[in-house]
Structure 1
Amino acid sequence: MNTFLIVVLLLAMIMVVISLVRGVVAFLQSTKIDLESGQQVDATEMQLKQNKAMMARVKWQAVAIAVIAIMLAVAN
């Protein structure tokens, strides 16, 4: 059981990093587009992608925290 939870925790941690990188890349691209165009009307496609990636990061962090809580509960 403990091994399974560690594997799940590692996968969740990897997904956190992937989501973070994708969100930062989208942020940098949207900032570059804003600077080049000189005007901002509404949320661009890249900004929506950034928001989606950051929400995914928060979800994966919640999964990782839940797995750690389960591991602590099982240990006690």
Structure 2
Amino acid sequence: MQTFLIILLVIFAGATLFILAKGVIGMAQGKDITGMRSQELMRKRVLFQAVAIILAILLLLVASN
């Protein structure tokens, strides 16, 4: 169970990092005039980050038992 949670945590942390980098690169290029793409990426980043935090809490709970 711990191994599965660690793998999921790494996947969601990596997804968060990927979306963050994609957003920063998109902002640096200045192609998104309206900001709609930036908002979409921000929502995805927050979602992936929340899932990663929940997985980290579950991992700590499983490890403490």
Partner residue of 1:57?
A: 45
TM-score (norm. length: structure 1): 0.74
Partner residue of 1:11?
A: 11
Among all aligned residue pairs of Structure 1 and Structure 2, give the percentage whose two residues are the same amino acid: 36
Measured in 2, the distance between the counterparts of 1:49 and 1:22 equals 10
Structure 2 gap ranges (5+): none
Superposed structure 1 runs of 4+ greater than 2 Å apart: none
Structure 1 gap ranges (5+): 35-42
Q: CA contact under 8 A between 1:19 and 1:53: conserved in structure 2?
A: yes
Are residues 1:68 and 2:53 paired? no
CA radius of gyration, larger in: 1
TM-score (norm. length: structure 2): 0.84
Number of residues paired by the alignment?
Answer: 64
Q: CA RMSD in A?
A: 1.7
